[in-house]
């Protein structure tokens, strides 16, 4: 299956993507994780992205689209994929359509995670991620690691993302409403959007998502 995951910051996209990718046996491609890996490796791409991310703004399309394309090629998109955090504006959605069309591929669904803003703020405030791999995601209260400050998956140190400060979260939410939400209408016109509530326990949301994708 070829799926795009969309939803506000802190909706649980990364958390759900890990389970959905495993259940569906497709690669999880997160542009946020790719940028964070580049930042921790000190690459030129990471250096360029960091300022935008720390401010909660989108990294320019020229950089993002190229990186996402490379990763999709590497993952052999023909076998399916789960995109998390990409596309994030209409220009990126159009660029993705061009890439897919060139290989005679189509998206199967756009899974839209709906969460009220006050819940998003609580989820982000308590989030801790792993130094070794930012796709290892925890929450101090809702999804606590077995040992405080230590990643269950790899034993790495947990820390709070630089862009999870209150001020940056406000910018990220605004960017989501103005730039990312329009892609939901873009995909609605293609009859691809499946909206589910992302409230409830992590496994309940996964079950809801799997049921919605099967329809």
Active site residues: 13, 88, 127, 161, 172
Which residue in the set 2, 28, 71, 127 belongs to the binding site for ligand AP5 (CB under 6 A)?
Answer: 127
Q: Is 146 or 214 the residue whose CB approaches Zn ion more closely?
A: 146
By CB under 6 A, the count of residues binding ligand AP5 is 36
Stretch of 72-80, 96-104, 138-146, 181-189 lying at the interface with ligand AP5 (CB under 6 A): 138-146
- What's 145's DSSP letter? -
Helical spans, DSSP H, in 42-149: 44-55, 61-74, 90-102, 117-125
Residues 6 or more apart from 96 whose CB is under 8 A from it?
4, 68, 83, 86, 87
CA dihedral for 137, 122, 48, 32, sign (positive or negative): positive
Which residue in the set 2, 26, 71, 138 belongs to the binding site for ligand AP5 (CB under 6 A)?
Answer: 138
User: Containing H/E element for 81?
Assistant: strand 81-84
In DSSP terms, 157 is beta-bridged to: 150
Task: Decide which of Zn ion, ligand AP5, none touches 88; Cβ closer than 5 to 8 Å per partner kind.
Answer: ligand AP5
Stretch of 30-38, 102-110, 132-140, 206-214 lying at the interface with Zn ion (CB under 5 A): 132-140
Least distance from ligand AP5 to the Cβ atom of residue 35, Å: 5
Task: Decide which of ligand AP5, Zn ion, none touches 205; Cβ closer than 5 to 8 Å per partner kind.
Answer: ligand AP5
Q: Is 153 or 171 the residue whose CB approaches Zn ion more closely?
A: 153
- At residue 86's C-alpha, the angle toward residues 88 and 6, to 5°, is 75
Q: Is 56 in the site for ligand AP5 (CB under 6 A)?
A: yes
Cis peptide before 47 (omega within 30 of 0): no
Residues 6 or more apart from 122 whose CB is under 8 A from it?
none
Rg of the chain over all Cα atoms, to the nearest angstrom? 16
> Please, are residues 4 and 22 in contact by the beta-carbon 8 Å criterion?
no
Residues making up the binding site for ATP = 10-15, 127, 137-138, 200
Residues making up the binding site = 10-15, 31, 36, 57-59, 85-88, 92, 127, 137-138, 161, 172, 200
Which residues make up the interface to ligand AP5 (CB under 6 A)?
Answer: 7, 9-15, 31-32, 35, 52-53, 56-59, 64, 85-86, 88, 92, 123, 126-127, 137-139, 142-143, 163, 172, 200-202, 205
Which residues make up the interface to Zn ion (CB under 5 A)?
Answer: 130, 132-133, 136, 151, 153-154, 156
């Amino acid at each position: 299956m070829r799926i795009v995951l969309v939803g506000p910051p802190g909706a649980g996209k990364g958390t759900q993507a890990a389970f959905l990718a495993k259940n569906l046996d497709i690669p999880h491609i997160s542009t946020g994780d790719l940028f964070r890996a580049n930042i921790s490796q000190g690459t030129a791409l990471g250096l360029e992205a960091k300022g935008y991310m720390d401010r909660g703004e989108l990294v320019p399309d020229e950089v993002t689209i190229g990186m996402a394309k490379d990763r999709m090629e590497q993952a052999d998109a023909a076998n399916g994929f789960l995109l998390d955090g990409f596309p994030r504006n209409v220009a990126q959605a159009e660029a993705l359509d061009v890439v897919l069309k060139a290989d005679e591929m189509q998206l199967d669904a756009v899974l839209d995670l709906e969460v009220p803003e006050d819940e998003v703020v609580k989820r982000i405030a308590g989030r801790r991620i792993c130094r070794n791999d930012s796709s290892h995601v925890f929450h101090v209260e809702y999804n606590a690691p077995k040992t405080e400050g230590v990643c269950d998956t790899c034993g790495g140190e947990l820390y709070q993302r630089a862009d999870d400060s209150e001020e940056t979260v406000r910018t990220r939410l605004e960017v989501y409403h103005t730039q990312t939400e329009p892609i939901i209408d873009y995909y609605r016109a293609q009859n691809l959007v499946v909206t589910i509530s992302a409230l409830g326990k992590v496994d309940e949301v996964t079950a809801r998502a799997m049921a919605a994708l099967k329809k």
